[in-house]
Amino acid sequence: MHLPAKAKCYFVSDLHLLARRSNAPRYTAAIWRAAAQADAFVLGGDIFDFRWARARCPREPVDEAAAWLAELAKDFPRCEFHFVLGNHDFHQGFIDRLNRLEGEWANLFWHPYFLRLGGNVFLHGDVADGRATPESLRARRTRGLGRHHRRGWLPNLCYDLLVASRLHKPLPFLVYPRKRVARRILAYLDNIGHGPQAGVRHVYFGHTHRSLSHYRFGGLVFHNGGAPIKGVRFRILQTETQSDLAQVG
Protein backbone atom coordinates (compact mmCIF):
# COMPACT_ATOMS: atom_id res chain seq x y z
CA MET A 1 0.00 0.00 0.00
CA HIS A 2 1.35 3.43 -0.94
CA LEU A 3 -1.30 5.85 0.30
CA PRO A 4 -0.47 9.42 1.37
CA ALA A 5 -0.50 10.13 5.10
CA LYS A 6 -3.97 11.68 4.76
CA ALA A 7 -5.87 9.93 2.01
CA LYS A 8 -9.27 10.67 0.46
CA CYS A 9 -11.21 7.43 0.57
CA TYR A 10 -14.56 6.25 -0.77
CA PHE A 11 -16.64 3.25 0.26
CA VAL A 12 -19.47 1.31 -1.41
CA SER A 13 -20.97 -2.06 -0.69
CA ASP A 14 -23.88 -4.29 -1.71
CA LEU A 15 -24.00 -3.35 -5.39
CA HIS A 16 -25.15 -6.94 -6.09
CA LEU A 17 -23.94 -6.68 -9.66
CA LEU A 18 -24.90 -9.71 -11.79
CA ALA A 19 -28.31 -9.98 -10.08
CA ARG A 20 -31.26 -8.66 -12.06
CA ARG A 21 -32.76 -6.79 -9.09
CA SER A 22 -29.67 -4.57 -8.75
CA ASN A 23 -29.88 -0.95 -9.87
CA ALA A 24 -26.10 -0.57 -9.55
CA PRO A 25 -25.49 0.11 -13.27
CA ARG A 26 -27.28 3.44 -12.75
CA TYR A 27 -24.46 4.45 -10.39
CA THR A 28 -21.53 3.35 -12.55
CA ALA A 29 -20.74 6.91 -13.66
CA ALA A 30 -20.86 8.16 -10.05
CA ILE A 31 -18.52 5.38 -8.92
CA TRP A 32 -16.09 6.21 -11.72
CA ARG A 33 -16.22 9.93 -10.82
CA ALA A 34 -15.44 9.14 -7.18
CA ALA A 35 -12.57 6.86 -8.18
CA ALA A 36 -11.09 9.69 -10.26
CA GLN A 37 -10.80 11.81 -7.08
CA ALA A 38 -9.81 9.05 -4.65
CA ASP A 39 -6.54 7.94 -3.15
CA ALA A 40 -8.29 4.78 -1.97
CA PHE A 41 -11.60 3.13 -2.82
CA VAL A 42 -12.95 0.33 -0.63
CA LEU A 43 -15.42 -2.11 -2.18
CA GLY A 44 -17.11 -3.51 0.89
CA GLY A 45 -18.51 -6.87 -0.12
CA ASP A 46 -21.49 -8.18 -2.09
CA ILE A 47 -20.27 -6.00 -4.92
CA PHE A 48 -21.08 -9.06 -7.01
CA ASP A 49 -23.86 -11.51 -6.30
CA PHE A 50 -22.95 -15.05 -7.29
CA ARG A 51 -25.98 -16.52 -5.52
CA TRP A 52 -28.51 -14.67 -7.64
CA ALA A 53 -26.41 -14.17 -10.77
CA ARG A 54 -27.90 -14.31 -14.23
CA ALA A 55 -25.62 -16.46 -16.34
CA ARG A 56 -25.56 -18.97 -19.18
CA CYS A 57 -22.63 -20.94 -17.74
CA PRO A 58 -20.95 -21.21 -14.29
CA ARG A 59 -17.80 -19.30 -15.33
CA GLU A 60 -19.61 -16.34 -16.85
CA PRO A 61 -20.34 -14.42 -13.59
CA VAL A 62 -16.72 -14.71 -12.43
CA ASP A 63 -15.49 -13.51 -15.82
CA GLU A 64 -17.85 -10.52 -15.71
CA ALA A 65 -16.81 -9.62 -12.17
CA ALA A 66 -13.11 -9.84 -13.02
CA ALA A 67 -13.57 -7.67 -16.11
CA TRP A 68 -15.41 -5.01 -14.06
CA LEU A 69 -12.62 -4.86 -11.46
CA ALA A 70 -9.86 -4.85 -14.07
CA GLU A 71 -11.50 -1.96 -15.90
CA LEU A 72 -11.73 0.03 -12.67
CA ALA A 73 -8.08 -0.61 -11.81
CA LYS A 74 -6.96 0.22 -15.36
CA ASP A 75 -8.94 3.45 -15.64
CA PHE A 76 -7.66 4.87 -12.34
CA PRO A 77 -4.06 3.75 -11.78
CA ARG A 78 -3.45 6.39 -9.08
CA CYS A 79 -6.23 5.01 -6.88
CA GLU A 80 -5.80 1.99 -4.62
CA PHE A 81 -8.79 -0.35 -4.78
CA HIS A 82 -9.43 -2.62 -1.81
CA PHE A 83 -11.96 -5.40 -2.21
CA VAL A 84 -13.37 -6.76 1.08
CA LEU A 85 -15.37 -9.92 0.48
CA GLY A 86 -19.02 -10.26 1.51
CA ASN A 87 -21.19 -13.31 1.96
CA HIS A 88 -22.60 -13.18 -1.60
CA ASP A 89 -19.21 -12.89 -3.31
CA PHE A 90 -17.32 -15.28 -1.03
CA HIS A 91 -17.04 -17.68 -3.96
CA GLN A 92 -14.08 -19.98 -4.60
CA GLY A 93 -13.84 -19.27 -8.32
CA PHE A 94 -13.92 -15.55 -7.64
CA ILE A 95 -11.33 -15.80 -4.85
CA ASP A 96 -9.01 -17.63 -7.24
CA ARG A 97 -9.52 -14.89 -9.81
CA LEU A 98 -8.90 -12.17 -7.20
CA ASN A 99 -5.50 -13.70 -6.49
CA ARG A 100 -4.68 -13.44 -10.19
CA LEU A 101 -6.02 -9.88 -10.47
CA GLU A 102 -3.98 -8.77 -7.47
CA GLY A 103 -0.87 -10.00 -9.26
CA GLU A 104 -1.83 -8.27 -12.51
CA TRP A 105 -2.78 -4.85 -11.09
CA ALA A 106 -0.47 -3.04 -8.67
CA ASN A 107 -3.36 -0.89 -7.37
CA LEU A 108 -5.80 -3.72 -6.61
CA PHE A 109 -5.88 -5.60 -3.30
CA TRP A 110 -8.37 -7.98 -1.72
CA HIS A 111 -9.15 -8.92 1.87
CA PRO A 112 -11.34 -11.77 3.11
CA TYR A 113 -12.84 -10.14 6.21
CA PHE A 114 -11.79 -6.56 6.97
CA LEU A 115 -9.47 -3.66 6.21
CA ARG A 116 -8.20 -1.07 8.67
CA LEU A 117 -6.78 2.26 7.56
CA GLY A 118 -5.84 4.52 10.44
CA GLY A 119 -8.86 5.02 12.67
CA ASN A 120 -11.26 3.55 10.11
CA VAL A 121 -12.33 -0.07 9.81
CA PHE A 122 -14.08 -1.35 6.69
CA LEU A 123 -15.93 -4.68 6.72
CA HIS A 124 -18.92 -6.22 5.02
CA GLY A 125 -21.12 -6.40 8.08
CA ASP A 126 -22.47 -9.96 8.10
CA VAL A 127 -21.08 -10.24 11.63
CA ALA A 128 -24.31 -8.40 12.52
CA ASP A 129 -26.28 -11.59 11.79
CA GLY A 130 -25.35 -12.96 15.23
CA ARG A 131 -22.59 -13.13 17.76
CA ALA A 132 -19.53 -13.56 15.57
CA THR A 133 -15.94 -14.50 16.22
CA PRO A 134 -13.26 -14.83 13.54
CA GLU A 135 -13.71 -18.60 13.74
CA SER A 136 -17.50 -18.58 13.46
CA LEU A 137 -17.46 -16.06 10.61
CA ARG A 138 -14.89 -18.12 8.73
CA ALA A 139 -16.92 -21.28 9.28
CA ARG A 140 -20.15 -19.61 8.14
CA ARG A 141 -18.56 -18.14 5.04
CA THR A 142 -16.71 -21.31 3.99
CA ARG A 143 -19.48 -23.81 4.75
CA GLY A 144 -20.78 -23.66 1.19
CA LEU A 145 -17.61 -22.50 -0.52
CA GLY A 146 -17.19 -25.60 -2.65
CA ARG A 147 -20.89 -25.85 -3.56
CA HIS A 148 -21.83 -22.22 -4.15
CA HIS A 149 -24.71 -22.71 -6.60
CA ARG A 150 -26.90 -20.03 -8.09
CA ARG A 151 -30.56 -19.81 -7.15
CA GLY A 152 -33.02 -21.41 -9.56
CA TRP A 153 -35.85 -19.77 -11.50
CA LEU A 154 -38.50 -20.24 -8.80
CA PRO A 155 -36.59 -18.48 -5.97
CA ASN A 156 -35.69 -15.74 -8.45
CA LEU A 157 -39.34 -15.28 -9.38
CA CYS A 158 -40.37 -15.09 -5.71
CA TYR A 159 -37.63 -12.55 -5.03
CA ASP A 160 -38.71 -10.47 -8.03
CA LEU A 161 -42.30 -10.41 -6.76
CA LEU A 162 -41.11 -9.39 -3.29
CA VAL A 163 -39.13 -6.46 -4.67
CA ALA A 164 -41.87 -5.43 -7.13
CA SER A 165 -44.39 -5.30 -4.28
CA ARG A 166 -41.94 -3.29 -2.12
CA LEU A 167 -42.51 -5.76 0.72
CA HIS A 168 -38.73 -5.96 1.15
CA LYS A 169 -38.49 -2.31 2.26
CA PRO A 170 -39.29 -2.76 5.98
CA LEU A 171 -37.17 -5.91 6.36
CA PRO A 172 -33.83 -4.16 7.10
CA PHE A 173 -35.48 -2.08 9.83
CA LEU A 174 -37.07 -5.15 11.41
CA VAL A 175 -34.12 -7.52 11.11
CA TYR A 176 -31.30 -5.03 11.68
CA PRO A 177 -32.14 -2.45 14.40
CA ARG A 178 -29.30 0.06 14.58
CA LYS A 179 -28.33 -0.59 18.19
CA ARG A 180 -28.27 -4.38 17.79
CA VAL A 181 -26.17 -4.12 14.63
CA ALA A 182 -23.71 -1.68 16.23
CA ARG A 183 -23.43 -3.83 19.36
CA ARG A 184 -22.64 -6.98 17.38
CA ILE A 185 -20.10 -5.27 15.15
CA LEU A 186 -18.45 -3.67 18.18
CA ALA A 187 -18.19 -7.08 19.89
CA TYR A 188 -16.57 -8.56 16.78
CA LEU A 189 -14.09 -5.68 16.46
CA ASP A 190 -13.14 -5.98 20.13
CA ASN A 191 -12.62 -9.70 19.56
CA ILE A 192 -10.18 -9.12 16.69
CA GLY A 193 -8.36 -6.28 18.49
CA HIS A 194 -9.69 -3.40 16.40
CA GLY A 195 -12.15 -1.74 18.76
CA PRO A 196 -12.09 1.77 20.21
CA GLN A 197 -9.34 0.82 22.68
CA ALA A 198 -7.11 0.13 19.66
CA GLY A 199 -7.72 3.58 18.19
CA VAL A 200 -10.61 2.79 15.84
CA ARG A 201 -13.11 5.65 15.55
CA HIS A 202 -15.23 4.98 12.45
CA VAL A 203 -16.75 1.78 11.06
CA TYR A 204 -17.91 1.48 7.44
CA PHE A 205 -20.01 -1.56 6.65
CA GLY A 206 -22.76 -2.95 4.42
CA HIS A 207 -24.83 -6.14 4.37
CA THR A 208 -27.94 -4.79 6.13
CA HIS A 209 -29.14 -2.71 3.14
CA ARG A 210 -30.01 -0.03 5.68
CA SER A 211 -28.49 3.40 5.14
CA LEU A 212 -26.82 4.73 8.27
CA SER A 213 -24.87 7.94 8.87
CA HIS A 214 -22.84 8.94 11.92
CA TYR A 215 -24.61 6.58 14.31
CA ARG A 216 -22.70 6.61 17.60
CA PHE A 217 -22.43 3.59 19.86
CA GLY A 218 -19.79 2.28 22.26
CA GLY A 219 -17.19 4.87 21.32
CA LEU A 220 -17.50 4.25 17.57
CA VAL A 221 -19.27 6.02 14.71
CA PHE A 222 -21.05 3.73 12.25
CA HIS A 223 -21.73 4.37 8.54
CA ASN A 224 -23.62 2.31 5.95
CA GLY A 225 -24.38 3.44 2.40
CA GLY A 226 -27.37 1.16 1.84
CA ALA A 227 -27.83 -0.72 -1.42
CA PRO A 228 -28.87 0.16 -5.00
CA ILE A 229 -32.00 -1.98 -4.95
CA LYS A 230 -35.46 -0.68 -5.77
CA GLY A 231 -36.98 1.05 -2.75
CA VAL A 232 -33.72 1.15 -0.75
CA ARG A 233 -31.52 4.22 -0.21
CA PHE A 234 -27.96 4.12 -1.57
CA ARG A 235 -24.98 6.45 -1.20
CA ILE A 236 -21.27 6.41 -2.01
CA LEU A 237 -19.57 7.25 1.28
CA GLN A 238 -16.50 9.48 1.55
CA THR A 239 -13.99 9.71 4.36
CA GLU A 240 -10.45 10.80 5.02
CA THR A 241 -8.18 8.15 6.43
CA GLN A 242 -4.66 8.21 7.78
CA SER A 243 -2.79 5.27 6.34
CA ASP A 244 0.00 5.13 8.90
CA LEU A 245 -1.81 2.16 10.47
CA ALA A 246 -2.98 -0.30 7.80
CA GLN A 247 -4.03 -3.81 8.72
CA VAL A 248 -6.07 -6.45 6.94
CA GLY A 249 -7.77 -9.69 7.75
The CA distance from 79 to 81, in Å, is 6
Cα(130)–Cα(134) distance, rounded to whole angstroms? 12
Report d(CA 69, CA 43) in Å as an integer. 10
For 55-79, b/e burial (b = at least 16 CB within 10 A) is eeeeeebbebbbebbeebbeebeeb
Round to whole Å and give the CA distance between 184 and 206.
Answer: 14
The pTM for the full model equals 0.89
Tell me how many degrees the CA angle 24-30-31 measures, rounded to the nearest 5: 70
Distances (CA, A) of 35 to 12, 31, 77: 11, 6, 10
**What confidence tens digit (pLDDT) does each residue in 40-93 have?**
999 999 999 998 777 656 678 999 999 999 999 999 999 999 999 999 999 999
User: What's the pLDDT score for residue 1?
Assistant: 63
β-pairing verdict for 114-117 and 120-123? antiparallel
| Ranges in the chain, pLDDT < 50 | 147-148, 153, 167
